[in-house]
Structure 1
């Protein structure tokens, strides 16, 4: 497993080296306008990293799930899957320095008594892909970037209370009838319908669909987020995104 993570880390380092970092200068403190531009550049840079890291982390989780299914003791793989899911839930950007230090640590760290507390996450965008799912029906090809789904479930370790816009990145090449799509997290749910006006040219051409606004009155911890799209599977899911709704003071 350490060898697999080392290979993933090497890819992340290679990709990050190609990302353009914000320029820094040893000049006097920037004006308010310059400060705003620097913040915008930093936000763009973080978004670039997220777009590079999340797909690789998703493939890493998919491979871990395959290895866990074959292992006599799947517990270490499940712990690593949970750790990577937490990284994605926190924004999807790996701290490469910390990851490199972790690889240099002893392979078998001393066991700790009791389970560590789940971290309290800040409100941030949550990106969920088929590779991170706990359950998919029907079972997809693990190498595909999207999955034709009837039902897909993710385990949500921690999601802060608040309002989220739920966006579906999908393909749906043909519909002979209206397709109901339902998202559920705890007692909260969203429902919409796909009709012929929302189909895509083919299964490799993706579109964006806003499912609606999900309001969480309290932090969701350890729950299951489920997306159902009926049978037979006609909806090809690439990504489900929960974006915090900005509030005004």
Structure 2
């Protein structure tokens, strides 16, 4: 019997879902970690990206500095942070994943504001709008597709990477995979594959969900324009 088939069999056992520490418990932990990590990253990345994009300067260096964090392996951060006052468990995992999620949020926010037609901004200023009014009434609504794209990219990345939380006793679906490895590939192969399948399906579900949210929050006149220039969002992500 192949490992994939073992994984399907393991997933079809209700006890593997309902037992304490089973898939339901680990799934809830996984979603909690993802939520807080993405929330913290949004609280940092979006304001910085919007501010630099609105000012029109300083964004390049800020994005470069943020992207440097992508060169740091997430597993390395997960190894180092538990040695700080954060200790082991969920806090260091959330911080590490938030650091990982900031760059796409910052870059997309900055790109969204800088991609707005300068003539549109000049027209808004000509109508007597202040700088703050231009930001809230013109720039942010037009940048919504990019903000949503950054959220979508960051969330999917965090969902997939949260599986590494098991290395520092942080919970999540990675605990299922880790437990399978602890039993050995011959005994725990089904558990390893089953956990991997759930992580992959969860990431796919988040991608589909946020793609729908992105479409809903994008003003109808901007949807066709957004489809014609996906490369900018891809580069920002």
Shorter-chain TM band: under 0.3
Larger radius of gyration: 2
Compute the TM-score of the two structures, normalised by the length of structure 2. 0.27
Greater RCO (CA < 8 Å, at least 6 residues apart): 2
Higher helix share: 2
Higher strand share: 1
